[in-house]
Amino acid sequence: MLPNWSELPEELVSIISEKFNFYEDYLRFSSVCHSWRSVTLNNHKRHSQFLKYFPWLMLPADEDEEEDDHRNFFIPSENKIRRLYLPESCGCHCWGSPYGWLVTLGFDQQFHLLNPLSRARLSLPPLSTFKDRSFTDKYPGHNRMCCVRKAIVSTDENNQVLLVCLIMGGSRRLALARPGDTTWTVVQYSNLHKDVIDFNGQVYTIQSRQIMLCDQVSGSGPTLIHFADFPDGVPGYEQFYLVEFGGNLHLVVRALDDTQTQTQLPPREFHHCIETLYFEVYKLDLSTRKWDEQLETLGDYALFLGSNTSFSLKASDYPECKPGCIYYTDDYDENADRLVGRNMGIYNLETDIFEPLYEGDDILSRFSPPVWITPNPF
């Protein structure tokens, strides 16, 4: 008779799990059966040793993988693509965050929060509670791909979700919800937003050429308050990101070139022809609401930009991380909803040098942008 490995004593399972040096091996071990998973997920001491783990890039599923119970993750520190059993993400479009949570939207038009490591899932209001004439019940796949421009997740010190904020719809309005809410709350007078961030417990967003603060305590519902203008000389037609590092709020400008020819890309794909030329970074003085001079270096920090929540890491805390660099993915807003993974890479702000994010033959992004997520088992 074959042994029933699920009946191994818990103490022995715990001892074995302590021997793993790589988080992926630890996760695979915990996925063998329910009893092993219970032991490993309850080992908070061991989990804490893996909390400072270099971000993963969750890759979108292509048409052949829509019904697959697994999702692919690119691990930059290993330059490898790994498969993770994640049936809760099957058929879903996903947006990442630095707190271990994914925002997902499936063909059923239901939003959820999903932790890809613990597979915990929390309900969010359905898409039907956000009215937008660009959405249609006839084409749920179109809704799934096009309705959200950016999603952010705010958590407390225990990684409990406090707020989810989306830039949604054809007008790019701002919508808020907390786990357990039944409807999305649309912020008054909000449209054409380009990015959003939770900074020091406040929601800031880019609207037109201004930084706006979301007032959530107004008696008539959330509304926007002007907080700061753009830095002088920054055009309004580039890609923009709000990101915190060193305790300060920063604006990142991504200059794009759309003059590339189609012959440089696989002809069988419908694709855009966009290339990143450079990045600029500006720090906001919160006391004066004015911008300091353009930064020439990020110091010990690295930034992670894309369709995910923009975030930073202190490179000295992560041996694999390149200090002073911007890790970026292809997140150009494409009406036809198909992208390829060409406009991705690592940019050194000080030296103005680009290098590839991935050394391999696979195209990391075909039909939608991949998203950065920092693994967190809780």
pTM (global) more than 0.85: no
User: Using CA atoms, how far apart are residues 208 and 374, in angstroms rounded to an integer?
Assistant: 30
Residue 150's beta-bridge partner residues? 167
Number of H helices, E strands in the chain: 5, 25
In contact, 147 and 129? CB cutoff 8 Å = no
Instruction: For the chain, 378 residues long, give each residue's pLDDT as a single digit of tens.
Output: 667 878 888 888 888 877 776 666 776 777 778 788 778 767 656 555 555 678 888 887 765 555 678 888 888 877 888 888 889 988 888 898 888 899 998 888 899 999 887 788 999 999 888 877 666 666 555 556 667 888 999 988 877 899 999 998 878 889 999 988 999 999 988 888 899 999 998 999 999 889 999 987 666 788 899 999 999 888 767 789 999 999 999 999 999 886 655 445 454 444 556 788 999 999 999 999 999 889 999 999 999 998 889 999 999 988 889 999 999 988 766 544 444 556 889 999 999 999 988 776 555 655 567 888 887 766
Give per-residue burial for 146-179: e unless 16+ CB within 10 Å, then b.
bbbbbbbbbbeeeeebebbbbbbbeebbbbbbee
Q: What is the pLDDT of residue 198?
A: 94
Among 162, 195, 161, 164, smallest CA distance to 177 is for: 164
Domain extents in the chain: 1-50, 51-373
H or E element that contains 28: helix 23-30
Q: What is the pLDDT of residue 314?
A: 93
Fold entry, domain 51-373: Neuraminidase (2.120.10)
Q: What is the pLDDT of residue 46?
A: 59
How many CB atoms lie under 10 A from the CB of residue 193? 23
Starting at the edge strand that comes first in sequence, how are the strands of the sheet with 185-186 ordered? 148-155, 161-168, 173-177, 185-186
Q: What is the pLDDT of residue 125?
A: 94
- Residue by residue, DSSP assigns 139-182 as -HHHHHHHSEEEEEEEE-TT--EEEEEEEETTTTEEEEE-TT-S
